[in-house]
Amino acid sequence: MEKSLFRKFILPKELELILETKEVILAESREDLIDLSFGRATDHIYEVGYDTPGFGKIVEATVVRCKNGISVNYTDPYLRRRDPDCMVIADDRPTDKPKFADRFGKDFNELRNETFLWLSKQEELIVVPFMSGGDDTGYPSLLVAPSNAGFFATCLADLQGFIPRSKIPQAFKPRAVIYVAPPFRHTHFNGKQVVVHNRLKKIHEMFAYNLYPGPSAKKGVYSVLLDIGEEEGWTTLHASAVKVITPYENDFIIMHEGASGGGKSEMTTAFHRELDGRLLLGTNIKSKEKYYLEIKEESELHPITDDMALALPFLQNGKKLVIKDAEYGWFLRINHITQYGTDPAIERATIHPKEPLVFLSIDGKPQASCLIWEHTMDAPGRPCPNPRVILPRKHVQNTVDEPAEIDIRSFGIRTPPCTRENPTYGIIGIFHILPPALAWLWRLVAPRGHANPSVISTGKGMISEGVGSYWPFATGLRVDQANLLLEQIISTPLTRYILIPNQNIGAYEVGFSGQWIAREYLSRRGNVNFKKEPLVPARCPILGFVPDTIKIDGQVIPKHFLQVDQQKDNGTDGYDAGATILTEFFKQELAKYLVPDLHPLGRKIIELCLADGKLQDYIDLIQPLESVKIETPVPDSSHAGIASPETAIK
């Protein structure tokens, strides 16, 4: 690094000592980063490997130069998905996350010094300056990596943006630094993904001991934003958002939150139609009966965010939640694209991109076009469930760059099939309307759900991702994030809340069709206060209200897609058994939040759930500006926590 450039940085002492004697690469352009992905090699295939004490040389990944970008494949299938247990905290600040000393039995400082020593011994280092959270509202940050990890630096730059060498501002003082040291995965962590967060005064250190960008370049930067927001009193929501313009020229903005696999990316994409143009609503898993819809003219979609939505205080207006995108590029999972024609918009953007893209776990061939339906095999006949492409948002048509007011906040959950013979929590209809208090509870529990493709499985059944579904990436205290979310909900009374399942609705396999129908119906409906909507209370109070009828393009949606207890394969007995599973899971997870620092209103809401409260009780705790009210009391059911479905509401 030239001395004149070096003087532009205000660096931590340890990093300054490493860089002042090293050959340091600072890229001027994205083309430089693509070239760096191949190190010094002139071939179109490059192996990223490291001499690892006790193991010899280990090749972590191969990088292939394709016509439309670079294809990265990890030699170990385990690295192709984020390990949900990869985060540990090294500092002494308050946290509910595993501490490094507790998990590994020693203080982190020794390994921190070993990491700095290893970096200092590399011939060359890549340094990437960027702004966590965006150029205009972000925080100065740095990536420091060995030079042969150029593809990782490219991933970071595509996800977060980067500052070219000639445009680095004076006095660039990083608020966060990511240090990348892949061999330590083997020498210290038995081959596991580990990302260590060290929250020092005014700087967040992150040590990435693997080369999969998910836990560090992607979710690790998310952790930085959550850490800063926790200090300053705001948060970054785990959400996609889209502006929908209907055929009738109504504008409507929906933000969709949820755990990994909860349908965030799908909320911003068009219907996946059958060859004849129809939309397959669902297939009965027992009878194989299929239901179709014909929607001739669908709405126009203008994506706003894909995964990370900044809810900064100065954006808020005291009425609706206001958000903006925290990312430069989107980490799109494409496991659902298994053949040509599945998603023409993404296929077109990736086969003929405006500039080379980064593909992960796609079977790319040298000098050929990388095709996103040709997924890498984890084993013979078993494709990787988490293939990805990083798509800069500027390549996505009709993106919205300015802050957006949210009309509806939806929450997504992957649901398994449910029948009376095999009851599960898959009892959620196409969409449910939640009063604000219940919307908060769903964000505290945030079930990861059924058959998640993005995260390595840690067992069967439901697993909670916790507050806002971003808890896996947060470094601090669970209660602090819960309080921030509750205050946000209270202060945005004109934003409404719904719940949307995907994959299955009772005994019907639906994929994401139900989600797309909910989006299309609600955007055409326009008015989001639900005051005159034909709604009925769900049998299970924590599921709020369900629509009594839905008609779209003149077609009535069968009631059993709205109310699972109306399905012949479930009935009230199958539904109630599933409701018990869901309710007990909520009680188990919510008990963790009953700590002294919990917001007093939050305590009332959780205690209400633990006491099998009725739906009207939740409505009364946080009244929206225009509220629905149950007309007659909901009679007690013989099933604890289950309300009668016959009750009408105003």
Res 2 pLDDT > 90:
no
109 Cβ partners below 8 Å, 6+ apart?
A: none
- 404 DSSP β-pair partners: 323
| The domains spanning 3-40+82-210 and 236-321+406-621 adopt the same CATH topology | no
pLDDT at position 639 is 31
Residue 529 scores a pLDDT above 90: no
pLDDT in the model for residue 648: 28
Q: Contact, 47 vs 38, CB < 8 A?
A: no
pLDDT number for residue 533? 61
- Amino acid occupying residue 464: S
What's residue 507's pLDDT? 97
pLDDT bin (cut points 50, 70, 90) of residue 237 is very high
Q: Got the DSSP string for 485-528?
A: HHHHHHT-TT-EEEEEEEEEETTEEEETHHHHHHHHHHHHH---
In whole angstroms, give the CA distance from residue 362 to residue 73.
Answer: 7
Contact predicate 522/252, CB 8 Å: yes
Residue 219, pLDDT score? 95
Per-residue confidence (pLDDT) for residue 455, from 0 to 100: 58
pLDDT for 647: 28
Q: How far is CA 464 from CA 307, 441, 469, 595, in A?
A: 18, 12, 8, 18
The DSSP line for 480-491 is HHHHHHHHHHHT
Question: What confidence category does residue 7 fall into, taking pLDDT thresholds of 50, 70 and 90?
Answer: confident
List C-alpha distances in Å: 74 to 181, 360, 641: 16, 8, 48
- pLDDT over 90 (residue 163): yes
* Average pLDDT score, the chain: 91
Q: Which two tokens stand for residue 166?
A: 């000639």
In the predicted model, is pLDDT for residue 264 greater than 80? yes
Write out pLDDT tens, residues 265-294.
Answer: 899 998 888 889 899 999 999 999 999 999
Q: Where are the beta strands (DSSP E) in 385-474?
A: 388-392, 404-405, 408-414, 432-434
Identify which of 120, 122, 124, 103 has the alpha carbon closest to the alpha carbon of residue 112. 120
- pTM comes to 0.91
For residue 519, pLDDT over 50 is answered with yes
Quick check: 625 pLDDT over 80? no
Predicted confidence (pLDDT) at residue 390 exceeds the cutoff of 50: yes
Integer Cα distance of 414 and 264 in angstroms: 11
Mean pLDDT (whole number) for 163-181: 96
Q: Which CATH superfamily is domain 3-40+82-210 in?
A: Phosphoenolpyruvate Carboxykinase, domain 1 (3.40.449.10)
Amino acid identity of residue 63, one-letter, is V
Q: Where do the domains of the chain lie?
A: 3-40+82-210, 236-321+406-621
Alpha-carbon span 643 to 603, nearest angstrom: 23
| Average pLDDT value for residue range 136-155 | 95
Percentage above 70 pLDDT, the chain: 92
- Residue 552 bridge partners (DSSP): 555
Task: State residue 460's pLDDT score.
Answer: 53
- Candidates 3.90.740.10, 3.30.465.10, 3.30.365.10, 3.90.228.20; correct CATH number of 236-321+406-621? 3.90.228.20
